[in-house]
Amino acid sequence: DAKTTQPPSMDCAEGRAANLPCNHSTISGNEYVYWYRQIHSQGPQYIIHGLKNNETNEMASLIITEDRKSSTLILPHATLRDTAVYYCIVRPGNTPLVFGKGTRLSVIA
């Protein structure tokens, strides 16, 4: 039972920033926000996670609203290889991931 809501699909022009939204209005205080992506016929790839502060790594940035009810994953310069299904998942730290339907991002040349 996924606790997040994501748009089913999005398009992004190559080289532009891709901003993927996620709503998690029922998030609990001990739940982290995790982002994964799945490229066709591969296992999910970890991207980033956070609790309440914004996070950045070599792949992406994660912006979490102050009330923690929503977040945005930002891919700063999308490439064709970023085409994938992106999953936003909230969970306490020591439990398995429950996947929703995610957002299918298509990066267009």
Q: Does 10 help bind other proteins (rule: CB under 8 A)? A: no
Compute the Cα dihedral for 28, 30, 36, 41 and give only its sign.
negative
Q: Does 25 help bind other proteins (rule: CB under 8 A)? A: no
Given the complex with other proteins, which of 76 and 92 has the nearer CB atom? 92
Given the complex with other proteins, which of 84 and 102 has the nearer CB atom? 102
Of 61, 62, 2, 69, residue with least CA distance to 29? 69
Q: Does 93 help bind other proteins (rule: CB under 8 A)? A: yes
Q: What are phi and psi of 82, to 5 degrees?
A: -85, -5
Q: Does 29 help bind other proteins (rule: CB under 8 A)? A: no
